[in-house]
Copies of this chain bind each other. A is one copy, B any other.
Amino acid sequence: VNRYASRTGRTRRDGARRTTLADVARAAGVSASTASLAVNGTGPVAPATRERVLAAARELGYCGPDPLARSLRRGRCGVVAVVLYERLAYAFSDPMMVSMLDGLADEVEAVGSSLLLVPVPHSDGALEKLASLPMDAAVLDDCDALVSDLVPALRDRGVAVVRVDGPRHGEVPVVDLDEETATDELFTHLAELGHTRFGVITLPLATVRHGGPLDLTSPEGRRRLETAARVQQRRTRAAAASVERLGASVRFVEAARNLVDEGERAAGTLLDRLSSGGDVPTTAIVAQSDVLALGCLRAAAARRLRVPDDLSVTGFDGVDLHLPDGTTLTTIEQPSTEKGRVAGRLVLACLAGDRPEDVRLPTRFRVGTTSGPGPGYERPARARTP
């Protein structure tokens, strides 16, 4: 009968074959289909029959339908993959990723699904590995570099794909943020405080770690920006646009990674250049994440610069930094949990056969205690009214 039981299929510790629905059906003297109906509570079964089946199930220690067999049969397995382009510790060091996942989990749990975390590093076997994992849907976050490989591979397999923070790729629905409006507000806020010399610390533009000054007027700099992931591109372009509109000057520095230490280092190159003569001092640093901004605060503290008196620092995300001294960051809040929720809803819609529209979420500029009057500050006219 079961020739391969010892080598394949699910067996228990003691080597015995696991109890299957067929065993239960046999013991209860019913057909497998009836047993299925009874055990699952689907379909009409005579109370007496149901009892007999359940008794047999209890007796034999049947522990429910095998998820794999059921998945094969139904074509759904209750798994939503989250494809990450980084190792977990780094991905999770971004509070926005965490809260996005939380929102996503919330939505997919409502239909009994769970999140499968798939870090897809820059290795060759990554795609095969991904293809061998069971999943009903995949959420692509921050893996722009792979998206043109990933999307077709997943779609062909019948996996529903949703993209977070990225450009549309084929039929893949996208949820992302309106970052431009708030960015412009932020720069306007700083400009009104008298700042005219900005330093911008960008998120890492490429997977191959680089970091350091970024000259967007050079072909090389433009190329780097162009090959960058969507988020970085958008925030950087928005910053450049605002600066230009304000007629201010700006220096860009790329952080090698979205980490506090790298923010500190990047801020250091901005701050130390000014002391090495020649350059005009940067009076306001605009960081593309709160994590990087925290690094800026450290860099400032290390140089005995007071924030915001000597230097204004702004972030992006709206994280609560929990600083003991009560400092709150001037930043742009993004609805990251809601972003995850929306991604979840898009997933569910796709799974239901719909073709949902893209969603763009708003961001909100928030003034904290880290931005203050710059060197050329003049109290605006409208505020002089007695």
How many whole Å from A144's CB to the nearest CB in chain B? 21
Q: A74-B8, A89-B99, A105-B117 are in contact. Are A134 and B134 (CB under 8 A)?
A: yes
Cα distance A155–B11 in the bound complex, in angstroms: 10
Please determine whether A87 and B73 come into contact, CB atoms closer than 8 angstroms: no
Chain B proximity of A84: nearest CB distance (Å) = 10
A129 within 8 Å of B (CB atoms)? yes
Contact A117 B117 (CB under 8 A): yes
Cβ of A101 within 8 Å of any chain B Cβ, yes or no, is yes
Least Cβ distance of A249 to chain B in Å?
Answer: 27
The proximity string for A residues 87-125 relative to B, scoring 1 for CB distances below 8 Å and 0 otherwise, is 111001100001101100110010010111111000000
A101 to B89, CA, bound (A): 8
Flag whether A72 is at the interface (Cβ < 8 A): yes
Known: A71-B134, A134-B67, A134-B71. A155 touches B13 (CB 8 A): yes
In contact, B337 and A89 (Cβ under 8 angstroms): yes
User: How far, in Å, is A23 (CB) from chain B's closest CB?
Assistant: 14
Min CB distance A50 to B, Å, is 17
**Which one of A216-224, A234-242, A293-301 contacts B?**
A293-301
Interface residues of A in 159-201 (CB under 8 A from B): 171
Given the known A-B contacts A99-B89, A116-B116, A260-B322, are A67 and B156 also in contact in the complex, defined by CB atoms under 8 Å?
A: no
Which residues of chain A (63-82) have a CB below 8 Å from chain B?
63-75, 77-79, 81
In contact, B322 and A301 (Cβ under 8 angstroms): no
Distance between Cα atoms of A114 and B81 in the complex (Å): 10
A118 touches which of B73, B75, B114, B260 (Cβ 8 Å): B114
Quick check: B117 and A115 within 8 Å, CB to CB?
yes
Residue of A72, A78, A101 with most partner-chain B CB within 10 A: A72
Q: How far is the CB of A120 from chain B (nearest CB, A)?
A: 10
A63-B157, A117-B105, A156-B12 as given contacts; A325 in contact with B337, CB under 8 Å: no
Does A379 sit within 8 A of B, measured CB to CB? Answer: no
Any B CB within 8 A of the CB of A61: yes
Q: Which residues of B contact A260 (CB under 8 A)?
A: 320, 322
- Is the Cβ of A131 less than 8 Å from the Cβ of B64? yes
Q: How many residues of A contact B (CB 8 A)?
A: 73
Which residues of B are found within 8 Å of A65, using beta-carbon distances?
Answer: 132
- Could you say which of B8, B72, B158 contacts A18, with CB atoms under 8 Å apart? B158
- Which residues of B have CB within 8 Å of A294? 322, 324
Q: Which partner residue on chain B sits nearest A113 by CB separation? A: B133
Q: In whole angstroms, how far apart are the Cα atoms of A305 and B27 in the complex?
A: 73
A324-364 interface code vs B (CB 8 A; 1 in, 0 out): 11110000000001000000000000000000000000000
**CA of A64 to CA of B156 in the docked complex: distance in angstroms?**
10
Interface residues of A in 9-25 (CB under 8 A from B): 9-13, 18
Does A1 have its Cβ within 8 Å of any Cβ on chain B? Answer: no
A30 at the interface (CB under 8 A from B): no
Q: Are A92 and B98 in contact (CB under 8 A)?
A: yes
Whether, in the assembled complex, A54 has its beta carbon less than 8 Å from a beta carbon of chain B, the answer is no
Residues of B within 8 A of A106 (CB): 87
Distance in angstroms between the alpha carbons of A101 and B66 in the assembled complex: 27
Can you show 9 pairs from A to B with CB atoms below 8 A apart?
A11-B158, A63-B157, A64-B131, A78-B132, A89-B99, A112-B132, A114-B133, A295-B322, A325-B325
**15 extra interchain contacts, Cβ-Cβ under 8 A, other than A71-B134, A325-B325?**
A10-B157, A11-B158, A12-B158, A13-B171, A18-B158, A64-B132, A64-B157, A67-B134, A78-B132, A79-B79, A79-B133, A87-B106, A93-B98, A294-B324, A301-B324
The 8 closest A-B pairs by CB, nearest first: A89-B102, A10-B158, A297-B324, A63-B156, A260-B322, A92-B98, A88-B102, A301-B324
